[in-house]
Chains A and B, each alone.
Chain A
C-alpha cells in the first residue's frame, strides 16, 4: 500500500500537474477540516465553554438558583478562599471557652472586624489558658481539602505507578495463563468507580469483609471502622483507589515494555547481565517516555479525587477526606454558590497546571 502511494507520488511529480496538485492539497485540507470538525465542536461545547464559564463565574456571585441578577464581585471569592490571618488573644480568666468566645466575637458575620467571616483553622492555647494564638482562614475547608488532596496524590501516584509496573512485568513474562491474569488485573478498571466504592463501603464496615479477614489472620484483632476513623479513612480510600486504577496503568506499562526490542535483551544476556541488571539498563531506560506519561496522568487523576469521597465519606469524618474537587462540588451544588465554586475550580486548575509543569521540568530529557 505504502509503496503504491509512493509510486503514485513519484509519477505525479514526473508528470508535474501543478493545477491538479493544488486542488488536491486544497481538498485534502478541506477534508482535514471535516474530519476534525466533530471533535472540535465537542471540545468547544464540553471543554472550552465550561472552562471559560468557570473562569468568568469565579469572579461573580452567581448562585445555582436565584432571582437576583449575577454581579461581578472582582476578587472577593479568591480573597475568601485564600485569606489567612493570625490572631492573638489574651484574657484574664482561665477558661478556654472564653478565649474562643472572644475570637468568635471577631469572626462572626456582621461583627465589623477585619476578621469577619473567617473561621479557626488551627490554634495553640497556652497552658494557663490565658492567651491563645489562632490561625484564621476565610475558608478552612479549602486548606484542609488542599492538604488531603496533596496527601492522596503524593501517596497514590508512586504506589499505583510502582504496583502497575510490577504487575506489568509479571504479566509480560512468558508465564502460563498470563492473558488470564491480565484480564483479572484489568477487571476493576472497567467496573464503575461508583460501584466499586459502594462495594468497598460495605467491606470496610466494622463487621465487613476486611475486618473479618484481618480478624481471622491476626489473633486478638479488634475490628476498626476504617471509614469512620480520621486516621484510617484516607488510607482506606487510597488502597481502594490503587486497587481500582492499577490495572489501567499496568496496561500502559505493558505497551511500553513491548516497544523495547528483544535484541537489546539478547545482547544484554550475551554480555552476562542478570535479570536485575537487564531491568536497570535495558527495561527502565526503554520505559522513560512511558514513565513520564504515567507520572503525569496518575498525578492529575489523583488530584481530581472525587467519586470515592462523594460515595463513601462525604468528606468526613471531621473533614479528614474532603478534597478540592469535592469541596468545589459541595459549595456549588449543595450550597448553591456557583460563583465561589468556580473560584475553587480555578484554584484547582492552577494547582494541577503547576504540578504538571514541575513534573515536566524534573523529567525533561537530558539527552
Chain B
C-alpha cells in the first residue's frame, strides 16, 4: 500500500518537474525573444526613443503623431517610442547608461545636457544648418562648441497679474522697454499687501522643488549682478554665487517672505492667483492659459523686474538628442527623425497644445497666441530679450542642488551670507572632486 502511494507520488513528482522545466524554458526563451531585435535586411532599422512626457497627453500625442508620420514617410527607419514619467526619467537614463541599454533618441532637459554629454551618454547631432540657424537660442544645446540637442520649444518666465489690481494701487504697467525697477516693485508689493484684499501679494512658486528653484530664482540673482558660477572659467563659484550682489539678492528675496508678501510654505498647486487670493504670480508661460481663461483681457503678462542688470529669465527646456550607444545606421535615422519632428508643423502643434513658445519665428507666426499681437506674445519678447541660459557645464546638476538648498534656507530665514557661502563651498568642493569636469 505504502509503496504504491509513494510510487504514484514519485510519478506525479516527475511530471510536475517536467512541467516546471517546460515553463522555465518557455519563460527564458520568451525573455530571450523580447530581448533580441534581429531584423532582416528588408525591414526598416529600428530606432528606439525615450520620452519624459508620459502622462502629459498633449505632448505625447504630438510626439506620437510625428513618429507615425515619420515612419510612414520613408522605409529605412522605424522609430519606436517608450514613455517615462518626468520624475523618474533622468534616473532611468542614468540606469540605462550603466547597463548600456540607452535608447537611440533621448529627451533631455536643456541645462542637464552638458552633464550627459560629459558623462558620455550623448553624442553630437547633425541637422541641416538651415534648421539649426532658424531655432531660438533657447532651443539649442551646445557643449564644447558642438550641437548636442535641439528642441521644438522654449519656455519663458514672466509676472502675471491683473490690470485692475495695478489700477487700484495706482501702479504703472511696466513694459519690455521700461520694466519695473526694484524700488517700484517693492512699492507694488507693499501696496498690494497693505490693500488687505489678498492673503499674500506674490506667489513665487516656492512650493515647487528641484530644478524650478534655479530656473526661477537664478535669473533674479543674475539681475542683481550675481551668478551661479564664474562663467569665464567654470572652475569656481566663490565670490559669484556668494558675492555682494548675490547677498543683496538673498536679502531682498528673503525680505519678501519676512515682510509677509509671500508665503514661506506655499503648496505646489499654485491655484491662488486664479482663485484671486494672491495678486501676483511669478510663473512660466505654460501656466498662463488657466489665468487667461479666467481673467481674459484683464490679465497682464509683465516682464520680470530689473534689479540693476536688466530683467533676466531662464532659457532652455526639453530637447531631443542622440545617445552615444546608438549605432551608425540608427544614428542616421535618429538625426533624420530629429529634423523631421522640428518641422514647423509639429512645432506649431506643440505650441498650440502645450502652450510653450515655438522654437522658430516662422512657427510663432502660425500660433495665434504667440504671433505678434497675440495674447501671450509678451513671452516671445522676454525670451528674445532677457533669456540667460543656466551655466552650460557638467557641474550644473550639482550647482542646481546647492543653489536650491541655499535659496530654500534663505526663504526660511537663514543667514543669507552663510547660506550662499555654504553653496559656494559645496560647488567648489564638487568641482575639485571631479577634476573640474574635464
What is A's interface to B at a CB cutoff of 8 Å? 8, 11-12, 15, 17, 20, 24, 27, 31, 34, 61, 63-68, 97, 100, 104, 107-110, 117, 119-120, 201-202, 205-207, 225, 227-228, 230, 314, 316-319, 330, 333-336
Contacts and interface: CB of A to CB of B under 8 A. Distances in A.
A67 B120 contact: yes
Interface in B395-438: 397-398, 401, 408-409, 412-414, 417-418, 421-422, 425, 428-430, 432-435
Interface in B262-312: 263-265, 267
Interface string B234-255: 0000100000000000000000
Contact of A8 (B2, B10, B94): B2
B118 A67 contact: yes
Contacts of A61: 433
A330 B404 CA distance: 12
B2 A68 contact: no
A63 B434 CA distance: 9
B263 A65 contact: no
A31 B12 CA distance: 13
B267 A318 contact: no
A314 B115 CA distance: 24
27 contacts: A11-B2, A15-B2, A17-B3, A20-B6, A24-B6, A27-B13, A34-B20, A68-B435, A108-B425, A108-B428, A109-B432, A120-B418, A202-B267, A207-B199, A225-B265, A227-B265, A230-B412, A316-B408, A316-B409, A317-B408, A318-B409, A318-B414, A319-B409, A330-B401, A334-B401, A335-B397, A336-B398
A117 B429 contact: yes
Contact of B97 (A65, A68, A107): A65
Interface string B202-237: 000000010000000000000000000000000000
Interface string B7-19: 0001001000000
Given A68-B435, A109-B428, A207-B199, A12 B2 contact: yes
Given A107-B425, A119-B425, A333 B6 contact: no
A314 B209 contact: yes
Contacts of A318: 409, 412-414
Nearest to B1: A11
A97 to B, nearest CB: 7
A205 B418 contact: no
Given A20-B3, A205-B265, A318-B412, A65 B429 contact: no
B194 interface: no
Contacts of B130: none
| Max count, chain A CB within 10 A of own CB: residue among B13, B209, B425 | B425
A119 B429 CA distance: 12
Main secondary structure of the interface of B (DSSP, over half): helix
Interface string B69-111: 0000000000000000000000100100100000000000000
Nearest to A141: B405
Contact of B412 (A15, A100, A228): A228
A108 B263 contact: no
Nearest to B210: A334
Contacts of B432: 109-110
A66 B417 CA distance: 31
B59 to A, nearest CB: 23
B107 to A, nearest CB: 16
B393 to A, nearest CB: 14
Contacts of A8: 2, 5
A66 B2 contact: no
B116 interface: yes
B119 interface: yes
Given A17-B2, A27-B13, A67-B119, 17 more contacts: A11-B1, A12-B2, A15-B2, A17-B3, A27-B10, A34-B20, A65-B97, A68-B435, A201-B267, A205-B265, A206-B265, A207-B199, A314-B408, A317-B408, A317-B412, A334-B401, A335-B430
B121 interface: yes
Contacts of A97: 417
Contacts of B5: 8
B264 A109 contact: no
Given A318-B413, A335-B401, A228 B119 contact: no
A100 B421 CA distance: 11
Nearest to B209: A314
B400 to A, nearest CB: 8
B115 to A, nearest CB: 7
Given A109-B428, A119-B425, A336-B397, A206 B263 contact: yes
Contacts of B264: 225, 228, 317
A333 B13 CA distance: 49
A335 B397 CA distance: 7
A97 B408 CA distance: 22
A207 to B, nearest CB: 7
Nearest to B431: A109
Contacts of A104: 421, 425
A333 B91 contact: yes
Nearest to B272: A207
Pairs A-B, 10 closest by C-beta atoms: A228-B265, A317-B412, A65-B119, A109-B428, A225-B265, A334-B401, A109-B429, A228-B264, A67-B120, A318-B412
Nearest to A233: B265
B324 to A, nearest CB: 10
B434 A66 contact: yes
A20 B433 CA distance: 67
Nearest to A207: B199
Contacts of B20: 34
A296 to B, nearest CB: 32
A335 B398 contact: yes
Contacts of B428: 108-110
A230 B10 CA distance: 68
A39 to B, nearest CB: 16
A342 B1 CA distance: 61
Contacts of B398: 335-336
| Max count, chain A CB within 10 A of own CB: residue among B199, B408, B417, B435 | B408
Nearest to A80: B429
| Max count, chain B CB within 10 A of own CB: residue among A63, A97, A120, A330 | A63
A84 B136 CA distance: 50
A334 B430 CA distance: 13
Nearest to A8: B2
Nearest to A202: B267
A316 B412 contact: yes
A201 B209 CA distance: 14
A110 to B, nearest CB: 7
A87 to B, nearest CB: 15
Contacts of A335: 397-398, 401, 430
Contact of B263 (A15, A119, A225, A334): A225
Nearest to A330: B401
A46 to B, nearest CB: 15
A65 B422 contact: no
A24 B422 CA distance: 69
A17 B434 CA distance: 71
| Max count, chain A CB within 10 A of own CB: residue among B91, B398, B412, B429 | B412
